[in-house]
């Protein structure tokens, strides 16, 4: 099999180390996952953050957390975090089939 098709080559195996998260059973997991997805997007590593958290970009289950992060970003005048949170709340990117 070509190494191009091995998941670990995509960096997914390292994702958990780049996005430290509490145990999945922890009540703060979803909040931490939302922050990790936003951080991953900021670093150009959305796929890695998705692999680490188990959530996809724009997952509605995380909307309440991202809405709180958005409010904090606006209060702190963190334009970049505000932009990312707004983009997350618009949902996943829909790609047109060609």
Share of the chain above pLDDT 90, in %: 73
What integer pLDDT is reported at residue 56 of this predicted model? 96
> CA-CA distance, 90 to 48, in Å (whole number)?
20
Confidence of residue 54 (pLDDT cuts 50, 70, 90): very high
Q: What is the pTM of this model?
A: 0.79
CA distance linking residue 12 with residue 17, whole number of Å = 10
CA nearest 56: which of 48, 64, 65? 48
Length of the chain (residues): 98
Residue 36: which of 14, 52, 59 has the closest Cα? 52
CA angle, 13 then 18 then 19, to 5°: 105
């Amino acid at each position: 099999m070509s190494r191009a098709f091995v998941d670990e080559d995509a960096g997914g195996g390292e994702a958990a180390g780049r996005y430290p998260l509490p145990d999945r059973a922890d009540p703060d997991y979803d909040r931490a996952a939302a922050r990790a997805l936003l951080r991953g997007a900021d670093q150009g590593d959305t796929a890695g953050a998705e692999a680490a958290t188990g959530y996809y970009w724009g997952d509605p289950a995380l909307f309440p957390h991202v809405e709180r992060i958005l409010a904090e970003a606006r209060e702190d005048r963190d334009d970049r975090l505000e932009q990312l949170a707004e983009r997350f709340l618009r949902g996943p990117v829909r790609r047109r089939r060609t």
